Amino acid sequence: MESKVRESAFRRKIKALIPFQIQKFLYNFIKKFRLAKNIAKNKYAKEDIKKFLTDAGIKKGDAVMLHSSLGRVGYVEGGADTIIEAFIEIIGEEGILIMPTFSAPEYDEKRKIYVFDVKKTPSYTGAIPETFRLRNGVKRSISPMHSVAAHGKKAGWLVQGHENCDNPYSMRGPFGKLYELNAKICQIGVDQLANSCIHIVEDKIKFPIKIFSDKIKAEIIDENGKKKIIWFRKHLDNLYKTRNNNILEKYLLEEKLMKIYPFGNTELRVHKVKDLVHLMEKLAKKGITIYNS
Ligand SMILES: CC(C)(COP(=O)(O)OP(=O)(O)OC[C@H]1O[C@@H](n2cnc3c(N)ncnc32)[C@H](O)[C@@H]1OP(=O)(O)O)[C@@H](O)C(=O)NCCC(=O)NCCS
């Protein structure tokens, strides 16, 4: 099946030639046109969303890490909240819904320090995570650039301690806990370009290349408004130049570790954290990583 989501090599080459600001301008224009078309032609209610999810095997008690593009689904009545509620109503309180709420924290030039406020710093990972993190009962981890938000009985446990981890993908932090839970990775309208669990392996094994920066100072503000100084790491800046996450699509599909389901106008990818991590460990042993393909 031709993927509606995966970027072709041709498109990637064209994109590389267009300055980022122009790409952003063009994408905003495309989004407006797409939304108007969807309002007229492709509307989905909560029950439709729940049916797409149950058809893809999502069930009560599941741990789900969700990456999403709302705009690619079609017009969703009730917007981001409808998608969030559909998941919560299916997996229930025993289940756990997690989303990346990654952010570009403010930089205080005077004090030469990043400032991350768990309540106020916005995420850039889309309308669904941004709506999710602000909902009652949702917990957000403290990590200046790589926080996650979670809902369900285990949410507090999952987000706890991210600020004390050596790096954002530490096996001791929320991403290690996703591995422990063997969470399902659900990707609505996005491919491996937007899959943060691909970085778990970078902490779990002795990774063949240097990935993380030296420690950077940040002031964090917790949900009670209490301030604290921490040190965090991020990915080295040069890595994005050679990174090709989508080599994983081929292996995940060839080894039958991921399934692609219809989801409104787009696709829903479903796979599991342990399968992904074990596949990447195996590939790393053969010298294959997302940074050298
Ligand atoms: C970047 C990304 C979020 C962009 O996707 P998108 O669909 O354009 O944007 P969002 O998911 O924020 O959805 C908002 C858009 O949906 C559309 N929209 C608005 N209301 C809607 C509704 N009720 N129903 C459907 N679409 C709607 C609008 O076009 C809106 O754009 P606007 O906010 O500029 O008006 C997406 O491509 C992506 O990468 N997602 C995954 C991010 C991630 O998890 N990264 C992990 C770290 S690597």
Q: State mean pLDDT over 1-21.
A: 77
Confidence of residue 9 (pLDDT cuts 50, 70, 90): confident
Give the distance (Å) from ligand 1 centre to CA of residue 126.
Answer: 5
The residue count for the chain = 293
Q: Are the beta carbons of 260 and 2 closer than 8 angstroms?
A: no
Please give the share of the chain, as a percent, with pLDDT higher than 70.
Answer: 99
Long-range CB contacts (within 8 A, 24+) of 136-139: none
CA 19 – ligand 1 centroid, Å: 21
Q: Which residues contact 200 (CB under 8 A, 6 or more apart)?
A: 169, 171, 175, 176, 178, 179, 273, 276, 277, 280
Question: Domain ranges in the chain?
Answer: 9-285
Q: How far is the CA of 231 from the centre of ligand 1 (A)?
A: 31
Percentage of the chain lying above the pLDDT 90 cut: 88
User: What's the one-letter identity of residue 43?
Assistant: K
Find the 80 Cα to ligand 1 centroid distance in Å. 9
Chain mean pLDDT for the chain? 95
> Dihedral sign, CA of 102, 124, 135, 95?
negative
In this prediction, residue 2 carries a pLDDT of 60
What is the distance between the alpha carbons of residues 66 and 269, in angstroms, rounded to a whole number?
A: 10
pLDDT reported for residue 172: 98
Q: Which residues line ligand 1 (CB under 6 A)?
A: 31, 35, 67-73, 75-76, 79, 100, 102, 125-128, 190, 194, 196
Residues 3-11 have a mean pLDDT of: 74
**Lowest mean pLDDT across 9-23, 71-85, 209-223:** 9-23
Locate the ligand 1 atom nearest the alpha carbon of residue 44 and give its number.
24
Atom 18, ligand 1: residue with shortest CA distance: 71
* Distance from residue 258's CA to the centre of ligand 1 (Å): 23
Cα–Cα distance measured from residue 67 to residue 70, given in angstroms and rounded to the nearest whole number: 10
Tokens of 81: 């909240």
Name the residue with the closest Cα to ligand 1, atom 13.
70
How remote is the CA of residue 87 from the centroid of ligand 1, in Å?
A: 17
3: tokens are 């993927």
Q: Average pLDDT for residues 97-122, to the nearest whole number?
A: 97
**pLDDT digits over 234-250, tens only?**
999 999 888 999 999 99
Which protein residue has the closest C-alpha to ligand 1 atom 44?
67
Q: What integer pLDDT is reported at residue 140 of this predicted model?
A: 98
H/E run at residue 157 = helix 155-159
Residue 224: CB atoms within 10 A of its CB come to: 7
- Residue 17 tokens read as 């030639």
Position 198 pLDDT exceeds 70: yes
Q: In the predicted model, is pLDDT for residue 5 greater than 90?
A: no
Residue 72 φ/ψ, nearest 5 degrees: -80, -10
pLDDT digits over 125-151, tens only? 999 999 999 999 999 999 999 999 999
**CA 73 to centroid of ligand 1, rounded, Å:** 9
Distances in Å between the Cα of 255 and the Cα atoms of 5, 73, 275, 279 are 20, 27, 10, 9
Which amino acid belongs to residue 187?
Q
Nearest CA to ligand 1 atom 46: 194
Q: How far is the CA of 127 from the centre of ligand 1 (A)?
A: 5
Looking at the predicted structure, is the pLDDT value of residue 113 above 60?
yes
Long-range contacts at 234-237 (CB < 8 A, ≥ 24 apart): 234/145, 234/146, 234/168, 235/199, 235/211, 236/210, 236/211, 236/212, 237/213
Q: Using an 8 Å Cβ cutoff, are 284 and 201 in contact?
A: yes
pLDDT digits (tens, 9 = 90+) for 267-281: 999 999 999 999 999
Q: Which residue has the tokens 């498109």?
A: 11
Asked if 131 and 90 touch (Cβ cutoff 8 Å), the reply is no
Average pLDDT for 122-126: 98
Pocket test of ligand 1: the residue of 35, 84, 143 to mutate, having most ligand atoms within 8 Å of its CB, is 35
User: Residue 98's Cα: distance from chain center in Å?
Assistant: 9
Alpha helices in 92-161 (DSSP H): 127-133, 155-159
* CA separation, residue 198 to residues 59, 121, 181, 192 (Å): 24, 24, 16, 8
Q: Which residue CA neighbors atom 23 of ligand 1 most closely? A: 79
Closest residue to atom 21 of ligand 1, CA basis: 79
Residue 280 to residues 85, 107, 240, 268, 274, Cα–Cα distance (Å): 32, 34, 18, 21, 10
Whether pLDDT at 282 is above 90:
yes
pLDDT at 86 exceeding the cut of 90: yes
